[in-house]
Amino acid sequence: MKIVQISDLHVGSQFLQEKFDILVDEVNEINPDVIVITGDLTNEGLMSEYKQCKSLLT
């Protein structure tokens, strides 16, 4: 079983979409059975950041 753990996305003012896109490509190459996302999902904890984060992860 392959597990990938990603931490501290910080969606918001510090978020770098181009780096996230690279991350997605690299994780897809690994083809994990499970992806676990921990740490800070957003930068400021704003609802708009959580909505953006949700759209990135679904």
Nearest Cα to Cα of residue 8 among 19, 58, 29: 19
Can you give the pLDDT at residue 58? 86
In this prediction, residue 30 has a pLDDT band, given cuts at 50, 70 and 90, of very high
Beta-bridged to residue 5, according to DSSP, are 36
Give the residue extent of every domain in the chain: 3-57
Averaged pLDDT, 27-52:
97
Tokens in use for 24? Answer: 């997605």
Whole-model pTM: value is 0.84
What confidence tens digit (pLDDT) does each residue in 2-13 have?
999 999 999 999
* CA distances in angstroms from 26 to 6, 29, 50, listed in the order given: 12, 5, 23
Task: Give me the DSSP letters along the chain.
Answer: --EEEEE---BSTT--HHHHHHHHHHHHHH--SEEEEES-SBSS--HHHHHHHHHHH-
